[in-house]
């Protein structure tokens, strides 16, 4: 059996190579992952449902000969179906719902050879930048368990950062891949709109702001997994610009100088913590040392109407999801089954007229075009991922009775991420720094639509320069000893 030290110090690509060479079996990798989950999860609450027996059956039935054959994997408990598993969206109202089939992204993960061992923690409906639902309980940051993992893919981030699995499924409607990647010292790519098909089970998903992909530890895993999960022509509401190169080849491709905009201030004017500003300045200097040209960038649009439109889209999506469940199960939504902020969103969503929702979607599309107009001249744009280092648990309370007030607090912590969901651009959070208290600080890069290759190549440059695998491996070694 592979040792925990060997398991946690390797990325998914290396583990898959071990399996391919016959040096370790998928069963051994799964057993090691299970042992890690069982020992650490009581302290971190990253995994909310285990699927060990199903994973063993998948291995026994024979895994596809995919790039990640035999590598353990987890799927977030939000808007994503895994056949035979529960889907709660982090909400008591959906407790007991069991999925009858896989979402398309899960089917693609299986085709890549990934072994699904469980489901990860999510805040209720994903409507938080921390992962602390009343129903599932808080996910805890492996770097400091008294601090937040970020959200909404916080369970996935905690699982990867603690070495339970080398990569994990995640989703992103306003920063939910990038925020927890930043908080947990990991890589979080939000692909271009339409690059990865989340699953037609949810239609457009938050009216085209919903994205699905993963949280990883290495750039090569990110690139290889994107090749596995990208839409290969399946029916979908949106299609990204055509890309004829394997993303797996990008990390080793020759680098070229880029014109990179530096976005220091978010459109909503929220103040950024000095430690985060220091990390931004250090990243800018490193980019210049690597031969890139940096220029100050700015982004200004009418945040009030855009925020109101985004709120209407969120609330209508909550109402749609709840209404669908009511219709098909005969259950009735009750206030006590929801957190106060989500109940508020549900009531608003049920009262939004069709014309008002259509106007909100139009506002989002127009705002996205304006964002692209202002930032589109740059090859990439650098900003902080979040405005502060990871927050102590309990600071973003979804018990707030008014969803609008609550989301204003969420976007005060994470003011740099949601506008890329509006514009549809790819964006990635990279673990470039740590605070004096030892908490991760991520930086975000965006590129033009369809140019994930620019982000992956730039990320590979920074990975080589900063070697962020060292602090990651040191953390997992400490957790192994506990």
Q: How far apart are CA 443 and CA 50, in angstroms?
A: 32
Q: How far apart are CA 220 and CA 166, in angstroms?
A: 12
pLDDT value for 200: 60
pLDDT value for 463: 99
pLDDT value for 203: 61
Q: Interior CA angle at 348 toward 173 and 408, to 5°?
A: 50
Catalytic residue among 88, 103, 122, 152: 152
Q: How far apart are CA 176 and CA 188, in angstroms?
A: 9
pLDDT value for 238: 80
Higher pLDDT, 349 or 234: 349
Average pLDDT for 323-345: 97
Active site residue 176: yes
Strand extents, DSSP E, 35-105: 47-50, 72-76
Q: Nearest CA to 93 among 336, 271, 259, 264? A: 336
Q: How far apart are CA 177 and CA 414, in angstroms?
A: 12
Average pLDDT for 380-390: 99
pLDDT value for 401: 93
Evaluate if residue 457 carries a pLDDT over 60.
yes
The gap between the terminal CA atoms of the chain, to the nearest Å, is 20
Q: How far apart are CA 94 and CA 340, in angstroms?
A: 16
DSSP string, 261-283: EEE-S-TT-----HHHHHHHHHH
Residue 216 parent element (H or E):
strand 211-216
The CATH fold of domain 4-481: Amidase signature (AS) enzymes (3.90.1300)
Taking only the tens place, the pLDDT of each residue in 169-210 is 999 999 999 999 999 999 999 999 999 988 666 566 687 899
Least confident of 121-130, 204-213, 287-296, 440-449: 204-213
> Per the structure block, which two tokens stand in for 126?
């994903």
Q: How far apart are CA 128 and CA 149, in angstroms?
A: 11
- Tell me how far CA of residue 293 lies from CA of 254, 262, 285, 454, in angstroms: 17, 10, 10, 15
DSSP string, 334-387: -GGGS-HHHHHHHHHHTT--HHHHHHHHHHHHHHHHHHHHHHTTSSEEEEESSS
Catalytic residue among 76, 190, 230, 388: 76
Average pLDDT for 7-36: 99
> Per the structure block, which two tokens stand in for 445?
């890069």
Is the alpha carbon torsion for 20, 24, 25, 30 positive or negative? negative
Residue 209: how many CB atoms within 10 A of its CB? 24
93: which DSSP letter?
A: G
Q: How far apart are CA 103 and CA 434, in angstroms?
A: 36
The answer to whether 299 and 374 have CB atoms below 8 angstroms apart is: yes
Catalytic residue among 104, 176, 182, 344: 176
Residue spans per domain, the chain: 4-481
82: which DSSP letter?
A: -
Evaluate if residue 220 carries a pLDDT over 60.
yes
Owner of token pair 């991420």: 417
Residue 91 parent element (H or E):
none
Average pLDDT for 277-291: 99
Evaluate if residue 7 carries a pLDDT over 70.
yes
Q: How far apart are CA 101 and CA 73, in angstroms?
A: 18
Average pLDDT for 434-444: 98
Active site residue 408: no
The answer to whether 447 and 133 have CB atoms below 8 angstroms apart is: no
Average pLDDT for 359-387: 98
> Per the structure block, which two tokens stand in for 333?
């939504």
Average pLDDT for 354-379: 97
Average pLDDT for 405-422: 97
Residue 116 parent element (H or E):
strand 115-120
Active site residue 298: no
Average pLDDT for 236-265: 91
Please state the pTM of the whole predicted model.
0.98
Evaluate if residue 15 carries a pLDDT over 80.
yes
Least confident of 43-57, 131-145, 197-211, 351-365: 197-211
């Amino acid at each position: 059996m592979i040792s925990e030290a060997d398991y946690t110090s390797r990325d998914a690509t290396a583990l898959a190579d071990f399996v391919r060479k016959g040096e370790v079996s998928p069963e051994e990798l799964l057993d090691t992952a299970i042992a890690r989950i069982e020992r650490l999860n009581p302290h971190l609450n990253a995994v909310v449902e285990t699927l060990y027996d199903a994973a063993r059956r998948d291995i026994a039935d024979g895994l596809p000969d995919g790039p990640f054959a035999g590598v353990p994997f987890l799927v977030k408990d939000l808007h994503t179906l895994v056949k035979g598993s529960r889907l709660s969206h982090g909400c008591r109202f959906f407790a007991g719902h069991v999925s009858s089939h896989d979402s398309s992204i899960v089917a693609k993960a299986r085709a890549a050879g990934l072994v699904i061992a469980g489901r990860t923690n999510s805040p209720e409906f994903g409507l938080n930048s921390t992962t602390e639902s009343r129903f599932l309980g808080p996910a805890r940051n492996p770097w400091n368990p008294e601090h937040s993992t970020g959200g909404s893919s916080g369970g996935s981030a905690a699982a990867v950062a603690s070495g339970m699995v080398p990569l994990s499924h995640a989703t992103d409607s306003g920063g939910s891949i990038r925020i927890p990647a930043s908080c947990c010292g990991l890589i979080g790519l939000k692909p271009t709109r339409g690059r990865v098909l989340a699953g037609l089970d949810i239609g457009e998903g938050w009216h085209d702001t919903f994205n699905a992909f993963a949280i990883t530890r290495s750039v090569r895993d990110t690139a290889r997994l994107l090749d596995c999960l990208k839409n290969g022509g399946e029916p979908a509401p949106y299609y990204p610009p055509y890309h004829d190169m394997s993303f797996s080849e990008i990390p080793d491709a020759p680098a070229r100088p880029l014109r990179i905009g530096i976005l220091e201030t978010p459109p909503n004017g929220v103040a950024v913590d000095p430690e985060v500003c220091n990390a931004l300045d250090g990243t800018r200097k490193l980019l210049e040392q690597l031969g890139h040209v940096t220029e100050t960038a700015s982004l200004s649009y009418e945040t009030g109407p855009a925020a109101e439109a985004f709120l209407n889209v969120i609330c209508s999506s909550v109402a749609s999801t709840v209404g669908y469940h009511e219709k098909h199960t005969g259950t009735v939504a009750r206030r006590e089954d929801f957190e106060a902020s989500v109940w508020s969103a549900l009531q608003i969503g049920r009262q939004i007229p069709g014309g008002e929702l259509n106007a909100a979607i139009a506002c989002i599309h127009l705002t996205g075009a304006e964002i692209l107009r202002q930032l589109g001249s740059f090859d990439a744009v650098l900003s902080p991922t979040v405005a502060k280092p990871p927050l102590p648990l309990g600071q973003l309370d979804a018990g707030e009775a008014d969803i609008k007030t609550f989301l204003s607090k969420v976007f005060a912590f994470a003011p740099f991420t949601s506008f890329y969901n509006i514009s549809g651009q790819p964006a990635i959070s990279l673990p470039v720094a740590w605070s004096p208290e030892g908490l991760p600080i991520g930086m975000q890069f965006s590129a033009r639509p369809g140019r994930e290759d620019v982000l992956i190549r730039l990320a590979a440059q920074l990975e080589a320069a900063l070697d962020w695998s060292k602090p990651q491996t040191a953390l997992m070694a400490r957790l192994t000893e506990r």
